């Protein structure tokens, strides 16, 4: 039994086709099988396709899943139209379109136009940048990612050694690339660069047992901001705009102190001729030498000051009387000028009532714990201390609230409690610019969180750590690749108003199917959803076309 098409030619030359359900019946006289019509569905141009669909479904009810699958396979084989594979498209297409919108492809092609390689260096570098944002992996893992998981025009496949070659070339072009990227990004997105935020972090390495990192002059042990002092590391610096866009990256040996990088950072940024720049930095950079460096060339700074450092000027600023003024909800500020003439220093004390209440609540819990510990000691005057008493006295949290009397007993230090109370909910800021308002200073410093957010993205979303590279040039190139990925991620987040995680989940659902026929290959995208269209529209780039590519067979 089968469905057949019968065509009849009319007198006017037109043709009409009829669809019929038929089966073959043996004719003993004619000695061959003849078709017998069981049911006529009517003219093909008037055919109700729902009828055929219901018929097919009713037949499939009597077939096992295996038999139904074989049936479909026979139909596909007859039609010679095969569905070969599906790959992720949305994320890498969005990244690629923004990459080209920023002119990154043109910049790299110009930089590498004199260099001959077996692959397109620009495509290889873009692939590494996109990989950090979409599915962070090793360079070896990228071989399978490129060939099997994503659709990337211009780079259908790549080998690990080719990616390493591209990294080496990228490092040589770092300075020129950063200059061109900053010009293009700042002009295209109208970035405000009067305030630049700078901070450093560290990122550690996994070292093989047979390696000797002690002979390395770049992977070194130092103060670890990842709480991994047992591992060698590198120090990374970022300059970020008030919109959170990272415009420049630095990398230094792992034992580099924050105090020692300011002169290099200042020199590099002055080379961009940005005009009046106010550098915003955390308390780790507040040495007098660093502040003098930041003021060179008519530069200015907004910088945090350590309130417990014991500096006379800081104590004078904190103790100066004055009324706080509210500039935002839960943010009050007052100005404190210390000294005259060249010795004049402008401080701003910021106060957050909610933070103050939180500090008081936490300290109350600590004091209760200290009192309980002291009561359990059962001390006697002039008695030798036992281990519990010594451990309590040197405790990093409890110790500052404990004092030792002349007879050796430990007591609650009430003066220390009163001293801590004056710091509740406060932070101290110093600036060299007298023209800035108190609001600009306080909010400008508060936005230093933009750099901390960038570091979190580098470490959690882009998985910059741990690093496995050994050569310094590869380490530096790896950091540049992560910076470029962070740059694109931040631009997408700013334009869409959504986190990269949510954007990535949505756009990765846009995929491309690979179909083959006897005539060639066809690549067709899935139909974009309303959310996907909205994301591409906000970023200002085009969606992929419905038919992405056709490859006729030669």
User: Is residue 507 pLDDT above 90, yes or no?
Assistant: yes
Closest listed residue to residue 249, CA positions, set 264, 227, 228, 232: 264
Q: What is the pLDDT of residue 356?
A: 94
**The predicted structure's pLDDT at residue 385:** 67
Cα 432 from Cα 303, distance rounded (Å)? 9
pLDDT digits (tens, 9 = 90+) for 469-486: 888 999 999 999 999 999
Q: What percent of the chain has pLDDT over 70?
A: 92
Cβ pair 193, 186 in contact under 8 A: yes
- Given a cut of 80, whether residue 537 has pLDDT beyond it is yes
The DSSP string of 264-317 is HHHHHHHTT--SS-EEEE-GGG--HHHHHHHTGGG-EEEEEE-TTS--HHHHHH
Contact 462, 136 (CB under 8 A): yes
Buried-exposed string 51-90: b where 16+ CB fall within 10 A, e elsewhere: eeeeeeeeeeeeeeeeeeeeeeeeeeeeeeeeeeeebbbb
Asked which of 354-358, 433-437, 503-507 is least confident by mean pLDDT, the reply is 433-437
**pLDDT (0 to 100) of residue 73:** 57
Give the separation between CA 446 and CA 74, rounded to whole angstroms: 67
Q: Give dist(CA 203, CA 164) in Å, integer.
A: 20
In the Cβ-directed half-sphere of 482, how many Cα atoms lie within 13 Å?
30
What pLDDT is attached to residue 78? 46
- Structure-token pair, residue 33: 């099988």
Q: What is the mean pLDDT of residues 127-151?
A: 94
Residue of 431, 276, 427, 278 lying closest to 344 (CA atoms): 431
Which SS3 state, helix, strand or coil, does residue 461 take? helix
pLDDT for 130 equals: 96
Residue 13 has pLDDT above 80, yes or no: no
Flag the least confident range among 63-67, 137-141, 256-260, 296-300.
63-67
The alpha-carbon radius of gyration of the chain (Å, integer) is 35
Mean pLDDT of 201-226: 81
Length of the chain counted residue by residue: 554
25 and 36 Cβ atoms separated by less than 8 Å = yes
What is the pLDDT confidence band of residue 177, given thresholds at 50, 70 and 90? confident
Which residues share a beta bridge with 467? 205
My answer on whether omega of the bond before 466 falls inside 30° of 0, hence cis, is yes
Read off the tokens for 31. 């000695």
Q: What is the pLDDT of residues 367-384, one digit of tens each?
A: 999 999 888 887 778 777
Backbone angles phi and psi of 331, in degrees to 5: -145, 110
- Rounded distance between C-alpha atoms, residue 529 and residue 147, angstroms: 26
What are the tens digits of pLDDT across the range 218-251?
Answer: 999 898 888 888 889 999 999 888 888 898 899 9
The mean pLDDT value for 409-422 works out to 91
* 293, 263 contact by CB (below 8 A): yes
- pLDDT greater than 90 at residue 197: no
So what's the pLDDT on residue 111? 86
Q: Kindly list the domain boundaries of the chain, sorted by start residue.
A: 2-47, 354-421
- Report helix, strand or coil for 40: strand
Q: Which H/E stretch holds residue 486?
A: helix 472-496
In this predicted structure, the answer to whether residue 74 has a pLDDT above a threshold of 60 is no
275 or 449, which is more confident? 449
Is the model more confident about 449 or about 514?
Answer: 514
**Residues facing 431 on adjacent strands:** 302, 346
pLDDT at residue 215 greater than cutoff 70: no
CA distance 22 to 36: 5
The stretch 343-366 carries a mean pLDDT of 93
Q: Is the pLDDT of residue 105 over 70?
A: yes
pLDDT of residue 48: 74
Would the CA dihedral through 318, 324, 327, 331 be positive or negative?
A: positive
70 has pLDDT over 80: no
- Per-residue model confidence (pLDDT) at position 323: 92
pLDDT at residue 136 greater than cutoff 60? yes
Q: Say if residue 409's pLDDT is above 90.
A: no
Res 260: pLDDT: 84
Query: Average per-residue pLDDT in the chain?
Result: 86
Report whether pLDDT(274) > 70: no
Mean pLDDT of 187-203: 79
Asked if the model's pLDDT at residue 131 lies above 90, the reply is yes
Average pLDDT over residues 5-10: 82
Instruction: Mark out the alpha helices in 411-471 (DSSP H runs).
Output: 414-421, 438-446, 449-456
Q: Provide the 10 A C-beta neighbour count for residue 360.
A: 14
What SS3 string covers 216-230? CCCCECCCCCCCCCC
Phi, psi of 324 (to 5 degrees): -80, 145
Question: Sign of the C-alpha dihedral, residues 422, 425, 430, 436?
Answer: negative
Strand arrangement, sheet containing 15-27: 2-9, 15-27, 32-43
Residues above pLDDT 90, as percent of the chain: 38
Alpha carbons 505 and 268: distance in angstroms, whole number: 37
- pLDDT reading at 213 higher than 70: no
- Among residues 495, 547, 528, 448, the alpha carbon closest in space to that of 189 is found at 495
DSSP H helices, 102-218, are 104-111, 121-134, 139-144, 160-172, 174-188
């Amino acid at each position: 039994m089968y469905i057949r098409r019968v065509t009849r030619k009319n007198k006017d030359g037109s043709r009409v086709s009829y669809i019929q359900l038929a089966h073959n019946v043996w004719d003993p006289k004619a000695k061959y099988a003849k078709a017998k019509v069981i049911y006529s569905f009517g003219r093909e141009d008037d055919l109700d396709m729902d009828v055929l669909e219901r018929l097919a479904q009713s037949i499939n009810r009597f077939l096992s899943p295996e038999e139904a699958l074989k049936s479909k396979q026979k139909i596909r084989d007859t039609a010679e139209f095969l569905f070969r594979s599906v790959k992720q498209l949305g994320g890498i297409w969005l990244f690629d379109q923004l990459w080209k919108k920023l002119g990154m492809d043109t910049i790299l092609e110009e930089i590498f136009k004199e260099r001959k390689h077996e692959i397109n260096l620009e495509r290889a570098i873009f692939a590494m940048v996109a990989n950090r944002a979409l599915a962070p992996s090793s360079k070896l893992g990228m071989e399978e990612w490129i060939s099997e998981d994503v659709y990337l025009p211009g780079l259908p496949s790549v080998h690990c050694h080719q990616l390493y070659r591209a990294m080496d070339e990228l490092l040589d072009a770092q300075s020129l690339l950063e200059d061109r990227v900053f010009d293009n990004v700042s002009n295209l997105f109208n970035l405000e660069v009067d305030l630049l935020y700078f901070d450093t972090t560290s990122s550690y390495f996994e070292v093989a047992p047979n390696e000797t990192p002690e002979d390395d002059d770049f992977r070194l042990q130092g103060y670890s901001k990842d709480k991994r002092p047992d591992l060698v590391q590198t120090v990374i610096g970022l300059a970020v705009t008030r919109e959170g866009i990272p415009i420049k990256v630095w990398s230094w040996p792992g034992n580099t102190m924050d105090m020692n990088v300011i002169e290099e950072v200042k020199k590099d940024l002055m080379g961009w001729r940005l005009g009046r720049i106010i550098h915003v930095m955390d308390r780790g950079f507040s040495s007098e030498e660093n502040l003098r460096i930041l003021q060179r060339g008519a530069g200015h700074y907004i910088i945090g000051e350590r309130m417990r450092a014991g500096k006379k000027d800081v104590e004078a600023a904190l103790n100066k009387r004055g009324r706080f003024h509210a500039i935002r909800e839960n943010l009050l500020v007052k100005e404190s000028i210390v000294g005259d003439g060249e010795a004049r220093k402008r401080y701003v004390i910021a106060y957050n009532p909610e933070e103050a209440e939180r500090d008081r609540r936490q300290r109350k819990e600590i004091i209760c714990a200290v009192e309980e510990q002291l009561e359990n000691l059962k001390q006697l005057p002039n008695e030798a201390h036992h281990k519990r008493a010594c451990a309590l006295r040197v405790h990093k949290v409890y110790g500052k609230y404990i004092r030792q009397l002349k007879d050796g007993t430990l007591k609650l230090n009430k003066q220390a409690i009163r001293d801590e109370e004056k710091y509740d909910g406060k932070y101290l800021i110093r600036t060299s610019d007298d023209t800035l308002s108190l609001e600009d200073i306080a909010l400008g410093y508060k936005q230093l969180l933009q750099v901390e957010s960038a570091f979190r993205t580098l470490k959690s979303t882009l998985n910059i750590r741990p690093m496995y590279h050994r050569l310094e040039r590869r380490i530096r190139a790896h950091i540049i690749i992560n910076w470029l990925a962070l740059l694109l991620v931040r631009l997408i987040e700013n334009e869409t108003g959504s986190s990269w995680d949510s954007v990535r989940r949505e756009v990765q659902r846009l995929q491309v199917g690979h179909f083959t026929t006897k005539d060639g290959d066809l690549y067709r995208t899935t139909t974009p959803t309303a959310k996907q269209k909205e994301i591409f529209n906000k970023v200002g780039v085009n969606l992929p076309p419905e038919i992405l590519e056709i490859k006729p067979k030669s």
